[in-house]
Chains A and B, each alone.
Chain A
Amino acid sequence: MVTVKYTQPATRLTPALVIYLIDASSSMNEPCGSTTKIALVNMALEEAVKGMVLRSMRDVKVQPRYHIAMFAYSTKVNDLLNGIRTLPELLRVGGSPELIAGGTETDSASGFMAVEDLLKQHLATYKNGPAPLVCHLTDGLFTTQDPAPIIQRIRAMSVEDGEVLVENILMIDKMLRKPPKEWSTWGGVQKARDLTNDYAKHLFALSSPLPETYRQNINRSAGYDLQKGVALFFPGIHPKLVQLALAASSATQM
């Protein structure tokens, strides 16, 4: 019998754990359209939290259906929320903290190591909930060791609902071989050959497949056209795309 994975809804009793891992190296201060990459990330994180709030409302109260951790890395790793916070706790401190970029290194490996440690410590707590999701956002190649082995270890961790999901958002231009005219009709990245950039191909290979249930939820609620079999890999070169990518982090069943 085939068990359908990634179907567990985020509930108060079985909350979803979402871990954001954000590259905050100085290159994130570079322009991106009419703003900077880091400003775009801050805006998209706020939207992602709003999305979780909307999915967690009962009457006019926010329910703890999502638990959140947030790390920023450059030369060193910062645990921005001091561990895991429930969504209502996050709202009590004003929502997603504003990220400031700086630091010369892009130490993705240390960032993923912090995520791995957190998961090792807390995974058992989430064994009956939706599979935890790690949402990694960066704008370029790591400058220290390759995080691949750590990401593979993270993806091998699992709960009943499925293996831990790793999503990658890469904020670089011209990585898609065929950029669409309209992002809302973009089908997502299915194969490495859809990409032009070697690092994009590397991160694509390290990304989990987008669970079918999540794909349906995103297409339905946000009006996108992601195709079956795409990866949790997004080019973060457009505000709408970053929002889409972060929406994927909370696209559990309701």
Chain B
Amino acid sequence: MQPGNREWEPLAFVETNPRQDTFVQLALADGLSMRLLSVRCQEAVEENLPCQDYALAVVEQDRSRLAFCVCDGVGGSYKGDYAASYLSHCLVEWLLDLPDLRVQTADLAQALEFKLHSWAEQGHEDLQREPLPANISALLRHVLEEQRNTFGSETVFFAGRIDYGPSLQQKPQNRQALFCWMGNIAAQIFVTPAKSTLLGDSSQLDSDRNRWSTRQGPLGMLGASTINFEMVERLIVSTDGLATISSELASLDDEMLEIKIEELSRLPANDDMTLLDVQWQAIR
């Protein structure tokens, strides 16, 4: 973890690698399983540039809770990958430090809004310390400085913490989850294999106007929701590179998923693609 000073000894710590494609599958005890996939767009592969999506998931040692964040750095901002990685770590750390999720959503949202501003200040200071590349034209230097100073590094995000108690084998009792988001990252929560609810604001018009910036903190609407977790069995979070297949993701096994991603990668407008898919089979 980069930003904070937290000592991490999780049971599982999974993150994407911005420099190469990631496909991690984890089968944890008690029926909790996870797959995390991140594929760079062709442009990034050809130029050896980092993925602008970033995802991180942490399962605590006592297996009682999971925290995660999926970010999609904004292409038109300065080094969107920076904001994506930085904010993911900040959010997951904050989520795991929350004492209890059984509080009013509005109170949590207010606390998060405050944090989003303070992380921005620190993040922007760090970003400005990084030198611009040498040997670039005066015009490009001017554009990069303007981009960094005016917009900073920006990202959209969907993050959450799921408190499922000491064992998934036990009968569900007061299980809670908190989700928070800004921008067009899609999240589906399944209460049965066939019935799901959409969270986040990916289906709303102009949803990409909601974002977090190192220069200005949260821009637009911050979404937050706390839910009772007893009936939930699967969570799928995906970035907009997978938007055209987001409704199919739950039904795609690993092989089919790779085929679909290969097809998407060949499209001219292909984008970075990231998927976090968490299932807890024994929960119902």
Contacts and interface: CB of A to CB of B under 8 A. Distances in A.
Interface of A: 8-9, 11-14, 46, 49-50, 53-55, 57-63, 91-92, 94-95, 128-129, 254
Nearest to B41: A58
A162 to B, nearest CB: 16
Contact of B268 (A53, A57, A62, A128): A128
16 contacts: A9-B268, A9-B269, A12-B43, A13-B42, A13-B268, A14-B269, A49-B139, A54-B143, A57-B144, A58-B47, A59-B49, A59-B81, A62-B140, A63-B43, A91-B137, A91-B140
A129 B79 CA distance: 26
A57 B139 contact: no
Given A50-B143, A60-B132, A128-B268, A94 B76 contact: no
A171 to B, nearest CB: 25
B139 A94 contact: yes
B232 to A, nearest CB: 35
B47 A63 contact: yes
A54 B76 contact: yes
Contacts of B137: 91-92, 94-95
A58 B140 contact: no
A58 B43 CA distance: 9
Contacts of A94: 137-139
B44 A58 contact: yes
Contacts of B76: 54-55, 57, 254
Contacts of A254: 75-76
Contact of B49 (A49, A55, A61, A91): A61
A58 B49 CA distance: 8
Nearest to B73: A59
B99 interface: no
B132 A61 contact: no
A95 B137 CA distance: 9
Given A57-B76, A63-B43, A11 B268 contact: yes
B182 to A, nearest CB: 18
Nearest to B43: A12
Nearest to A55: B76
A14 B268 CA distance: 6
A162 B132 CA distance: 39
Contacts of A8: 268
A254 B77 CA distance: 13
Contacts of A13: 42, 268
Interface string B50-86: 1010000000000000000000000110110100000
B133 interface: yes
Interface in B131-156: 132-133, 136-140, 142-144, 147
A93 to B, nearest CB: 9
Contacts of A55: 76
B268 A59 contact: no
B78 to A, nearest CB: 8
A57 B147 contact: yes
Contacts of B147: 54, 57
A94 B136 CA distance: 10
Contact of B139 (A9, A11, A53, A58): A53
Contact of A53 (B78, B138, B140): B140
A98 to B, nearest CB: 13
A60 B46 CA distance: 15
Contacts of B136: 60
Given A57-B144, A58-B49, 14 more contacts: A12-B43, A13-B268, A14-B269, A49-B139, A55-B76, A58-B43, A58-B52, A59-B79, A60-B79, A60-B132, A63-B43, A95-B137, A95-B139, A128-B268
A101 B52 CA distance: 44
A53 B143 contact: yes
B50 A60 contact: no
Contacts of B50: 59
B139 A91 contact: yes
Contacts of A53: 139-140, 143
Interface string B207-247: 00000000000000000000000000000000000000000
Nearest to B47: A61
Interface string B3-43: 00000000000000000000000000000000000000011
Interface string B108-144: 0000000000000000000000001100111110111
